[in-house]
Amino acid sequence: MRKITLFLLCLVAVQGMWAKKAPKQTGVQNGPLLFETVKRDLGRVDAGTATRTMTFDFVNTSKSPVAISDIQWEGARLEVSWLVNPTPPQGKNTITVEWTPNYHWEDVPDQYAWKTPVNILYTDGKKNYTQPIEVGGTIYLKRTEVFNRRIGRLRMHRLYPVWNFCVCGSELPFTMQYANLTDKKMEVQFGLCDKQGKIYKNLVKETLNPQQESKVEPMVSVEEMPVIHSTFLAIYVDGALQAIEPVEIIRWDKAEDATRKAWKRNRGYTFEIKGCPYKYVYDAEDEAEWKRLY
C-alpha cells in the first residue's frame, strides 16, 4: 500500500512538472488563425518620410488549410500583402502592411494621431471568419508643411485651395487657416471682391503677430444670391493685394437638375452640402461615382 501511494505521488509530481513546462498560448484568436498581435503603433512619424512597414504574424492552429479571401480597410492609403495563401495546417504566415505617412489637406494640427482598422477575412472551407487588426501612429507636420502656400509674407493652409461651394440654407461658412511665420507683424484681410480685387464683402481683417497662427470661419449670407454665384476672393497683406481667387457658390436646394448635372460634370473633388446631412464624392473619371456616405 505504501508503494502504491508513493507511486501516485511521484506521478502527480511529474504531471506538475510537465504542466509547468508546457508553453503558454498567447495572442488573439477568433477562429483557426492565432495572431501574435493585432495592433501596431509606429509612434511619432514625420510626414512625407519613407514608407513604413508593419507585420502581423499568425499561425493556423487547425487541421485544415486556411485561405485569406479579402482584406478591407477605409481611409488610409495602405498596401497589404501576405506570404502564402492558403496557410497550411499548423503553418505560419505573415501579413505585411505598408504605409506612407502623408496627410490630408484638411484642418489638422501640427501633429495628429491616426488609427486605421483593417479586417482580415478568411475561410477554412467550411466557415468564414473575420479578424480585425489595427495600425496607427502620430504624424508630425512641420509648420511650413501645414502652411505651405506662400502669398507674399503670408502662409496659408492647403496648397491649392478650391473655392467652390455647394450650400443648402441661408449661410455659407468659409474656412481659412493661415500663419505669419516671419518675425514682423502683419495686417491680413480677406474679402469677396470683383475682378480688380475691390472688396465688397469683408470676411476677415486682423493683425498677426510674429509666428502667430489663425483659423477663422466667417459666415456669408447667400439668401439673396442667384442659384449660381460667381465671384472672387481677395487676399491683402499689409494693405497690398496679394492674390485673387475665383469663387463659385451654388444654391443646391434652389438648383434645377440640369444645373446640378453640369456642376457634377465640371467638378472633380469632394465637397459637402452645407447644412444638409449628406456628403457627396465625385470622381471626374467616373461620373457614376456619387455616393451618399451618411
Q: Is residue 263 within a helix (H) or strand (E), and if so which, with residue range?
A: helix 257-266
> How many whole angstroms separate alpha carbon 15 and alpha carbon 140?
54
If you classify domain 146-281 with CATH, what class do you get? mainly beta
Is residue 25 scored above 70 in pLDDT?
Answer: no
> How many whole angstroms separate alpha carbon 208 and alpha carbon 84?
58
Q: Read off the pLDDT band of 10 (50, 70, 90).
A: low
> How many whole angstroms separate alpha carbon 235 and alpha carbon 233?
7
Range(s) of the chain covered by CATH 2.60.40.10: 30-141, 146-281
Tell how strand 164-167 and strand 270-274 pair up: parallel
Is residue 36 scored above 80 in pLDDT?
Answer: yes
Q: What is the pLDDT of residue 104?
A: 54
Identify whether the C-beta of residue 103 lies closer than 8 Å to the C-beta of residue 159.
no
Q: What is the pLDDT of residue 283?
A: 43
> How many whole angstroms separate alpha carbon 251 and alpha carbon 245?
20
Q: Is 40 exposed, middle or buried (0-12, 13-18, 19+ CB in 10 A)?
A: middle
pTM above 0.75, yes or no: no
Q: What is the pLDDT of residue 231?
A: 92
Quick: pLDDT tens for 174-228. 778 899 999 999 999 999 999 999 999 999 999 999 999 898 888 889 888 999 8
Q: What is the pLDDT of residue 93?
A: 94
Q: What is the pLDDT of residue 111?
A: 72
Terminal-to-terminal C-alpha distance of the chain: 78
Is residue 234 scored above 90 in pLDDT?
Answer: yes
Q: What is the pLDDT of residue 286?
A: 41
30-141 to CATH, choices 3.30.70.2190, 3.40.50.10140, 2.60.40.10, 3.50.30.50: 2.60.40.10
Q: For residue 265, how many other CB atoms are within 10 A of its CB?
A: 11
Q: Read off the pLDDT band of 74 (50, 70, 90).
A: confident
Q: Which residues contact 182 (CB under 8 A, 6 or more apart)?
A: 153, 210
Amino acid at the residue 282? Y
Q: Read off the pLDDT band of 76 (50, 70, 90).
A: low
> How many whole angstroms separate alpha carbon 153 and alpha carbon 239?
12
CB contact burial 105-118 (16+ within 10 A = b; e otherwise): eeeeeeeeebebbb
Among the ranges given (105-114, 150-159, 273-282), the one the predictor scored with the smallest mean pLDDT: 273-282
